[in-house]
Structure 1
Amino acid sequence: MESVVSPEPSQKTPSDSSSKQVTTIEELKDSTDAELTKIRLMRAFVEARDPSSKEVDDLMIRRFLRARNLDVEKASAMFLKYLKWKRSIMPNGYISPSEIAEDIAQEKVFVQGLDKKGRPIVVAFAAKHFQSKNGADGFKRIILPSDPMQFAFQVLLLNDNKYFFCMMPPGQEKFLSIADIEGWGYANSDLRGYLNALSTLQDCYPERLGKMFIVHAPYLFMRIWKMIYPFIDDNTKKKIVFVENKKLKSTLLEEIEESQLPDIYGGQMPLVPIQDS
């Protein structure tokens, strides 16, 4: 599995062979014959170059292939780079809650409910993010690629942890995000950090973002967005929607049932801090 939060080093982590996930035929049922062939080719290629590749399932291999239009060579290079990144930034294979206690307490991100396609909903508040004291590297460790916290993304993929439970339903690979920019100002303008987070999302977690709604975006943010936009790949650009304030609820309801929509956007679900969900 991809990097996850783990309670303590003594606990089993997804890097343990005992926690390795096995991809079933049912999970790969929407794969084309070409994809199934390329999955086998890519697996043989990457396992020969990095034995730790044996610990990932076919769904991850497929995500990297799809991100590179089934080009085995390009997808393999991308995947091997991801494994190297993971080892360098998380040598133990996980991020401990104690490392990100401050970010958890600030309640930047909420993960709860499912959209109409069964994708978990991530609500992120950009005005609660300030440039990391640890610089760009610190930001890449704790920030969610594409807006506030990588921690929330890891909870989505969680497998074995006594503090949190897995919020990614079986067979689901993507999530929907609501990026709330209300109150965002110069103090939150961490362009370098945003670009690093964007790079992490695109290069290390491909084919995970299903859709992103950007709401309450002020004029100042749009100026920063113009600088970020050229660095977003075309597939990701198609998934991002800026929502007008007057059409906020109606637009969100196109993807989310009212019972699953956060109450701050006119729905029925109260927001619950991620550590309490």
Structure 2
Amino acid sequence: MDQNHEVAVTQMRMSVEKLGSSTEKYEDPTLMRFLIARSMDTDKAAKMFVQWLQWRASFVSLNYIPDSEVQDELNSRKIYLQGQSTKGCPVLLVKIKNHLPAKDQLQFKKFVVHLLDKAISSSFRGREIGNEKLIAILDLHQIAYKNIDTRGLITGFQFLQIVIVCNEEERRELIRTVGEEALPEGYGGRAKLVALQDFVITPSDDKMP
């Protein structure tokens, strides 16, 4: 981190304290995310950070979303957590044919938080490196009109960098990027499919965001 960024982070920490909150539990890479999101404006970044803390405290009061609160979404077995890619990123597989637009939007929002928290915890183990990413493979095989979720697609396109795999070279690149150990059988890898609810977080992984 260069000197200008270090100064900005320090100023942001002070601004957060003035707003009655604390950054004690968070390292510089996390705070930099908020600064970048607010064009390095320390006051705006501090305000955004405090709002995020307040949202997290109210929406994820246990610091995680238990399976019991998103059981309907889990029962569809549409999300699979496959471990880590060759670069250490968590790998998610989404079977779109098993997805139906949510009738309970609150449960769906909790489900998104649940799966992202679990994916991050499975890979980064509480480390803050400032460039945390995940790989999501969207399987469109046998997709039908009933599976189309406009709201879900819009949300996904907002934070995913889309790469469409439609030929052999692109398939080989997918295998190289993900790695055969994480990529499931049938997709060019050797791994077994592991449903999100069946993926076990080891004790060293259980530090949720």
Long gaps (5+) in structure 2:
200-209
Moved more, 63-72 or 38-47: 63-72
> How far did 1:248 drift?
4.5
Aligned to 2:142: 183
Aligned to 1:41: 11
Q: Aligned equivalents of 1:53 and 1:133: distance in 2?
A: 37
Closer, same or farther in 2 for the Cα pair 1:264/1:81, shift >3 Å? farther
Q: Deviations over 1:187-243 (max 9, x none)?
A: 122223444x45xxxxxxxxxxxxxxxxxxxxxxxxxxxxxx6xx3xxx56x32122
Aligned to 2:195: 273
Equivalent of residue 114 in structure 2, options 127, 145, 151: 151
Is the aligned partner of 1:242 residue 2:164?
yes
Aligned to 2:124: 168
Equivalent of residue 183 in structure 2, options 256, 261, 265: 261
Report if the CA contact (8 A) 1:140-1:193 is conserved. no
Q: Aligned equivalents of 1:248 and 1:270: distance in 2?
A: 22
Is the aligned partner of 1:139 residue 2:98?
no
Closer, same or farther in 2 for the Cα pair 1:132/1:49, shift >3 Å? same
Moved more, 66-75 or 56-65: 66-75
Long gaps (5+) in structure 1:
1-30, 144-149, 159-165, 199-228
Q: Which has the higher contact order (CA 8 A, sep 6+)?
A: 2
Q: Aligned equivalents of 2:170 and 2:185: distance in 1?
A: 12
> How far did 1:53 drift?
4.2
Q: Aligned equivalents of 2:174 and 2:152: distance in 1?
A: 28
Aligned to 1:98: 68
> How far did 1:265 drift?
0.9
> How far did 1:98 drift?
0.7
Letter aligned with residue 141 of structure 2: E
Q: Aligned equivalents of 1:244 and 1:110: distance in 2?
A: 22
> How far did 1:82 drift?
2.1
Report if the CA contact (8 A) 1:259-1:268 is conserved. yes
Closer, same or farther in 2 for the Cα pair 1:270/1:79, shift >3 Å? same
> How far did 1:124 drift?
1.7
Alignment of 1:221-236 (within 5 A): 232=158, 236=159
Q: Aligned equivalents of 2:18 and 2:24: distance in 1?
A: 10
Closer, same or farther in 2 for the Cα pair 1:77/1:184, shift >3 Å? farther
Is the aligned partner of 1:61 residue 2:17?
no
Instruction: Give the structure with the larger helix fraction.
Output: 2
> How far did 1:254 drift?
3.6
What secondary structure does 1:264 align onto? coil
CA RMSD of aligned residues (A): 2.6
Tell me the matched-pair count. 196
